[in-house]
Amino acid sequence: MRSTLTGRLLNYLLISMIVVLLFQTGLFVIIMVNPSILVGYEWLFQLSVIAYFFLIIAILVMYVIWMYKVHKDIHDLNAYYPVSASMSLLLLIIPIVNLFGIGRIHNQIAKFYHRQSSTAHLHKPIVIHLIFWYILILMMHQVTRYIDGNPVTFDMYIFQNIGYLVVNVLILRGYKFINTGLITLFHIVSKEGKQVIKKNEGLS
């Protein structure tokens, strides 16, 4: 599959982000309990912030590339799939459009899996994780705006980190569901030697 290597890199980046957020949250807890413990180790917090912003950029770029390749893979399975690789790219990189594009892309993949008996069980978790991701992203956007515009204590930063930690866990699980579906369908195709769906009925 075209998306295998990129998917693995995305997986490692997401796990790295989760580790960084856990580490950063631990630092916030230590500062709240006993700030003197970190005297002389302020560079640890600075390092975690640098790693956090680097990973944000890397994850966004890798996610877009991965999704592009995922759609290439899906079109190998079914030439009638309604979202092309190029369209998926546009839906993800165009500002404002990508707010709805992410939902459209994941919903189409979920519908595609739902029509295959071997991957139908993946439809519900993909949709549920997508819904919770949207809810959390909106919540965390408001939390971040509040923190940026008001003097807050470290417990708010801990709350913010936990929120983004959950967001990244949802993305990681979403990746695993989509990747599992692709592996399953490609395994079936390799055994049967044909496209998963030959007609375009109900794919739009």
Q: Please return the burial class of 4, using the count of CB atoms within 10 Å of its CB with bins 0-12, 13-18 and 19+.
A: middle
pLDDT at 131: 94
* Dist. CA 89–CA 97, nearest whole Å: 11
Is a pLDDT exceeding 50 seen at residue 203? no
Q: What is the per-residue pLDDT across 117-138, written as a single tens digit (0 to 9) for each?
A: 889 999 999 999 999 999 999 9
The whole-number average pLDDT for the span 128-157 is 88
Which residue matches tokens 């003197």? 36
What is the percentage of the chain residues whose pLDDT exceeds 90? 57
**Cα–Cα separations (whole angstroms), residue 85 to 14, 24, 69, 71, 77:** 23, 36, 7, 5, 13
Alpha helices in the chain (DSSP H): 4-33, 42-77, 85-93, 97-114, 123-149, 154-192
Tokens of 129: 């994780």
Residue 109 pLDDT grade (very low, low, confident, very high; cuts 50, 70, 90): very high
Is a pLDDT exceeding 90 seen at residue 37? no
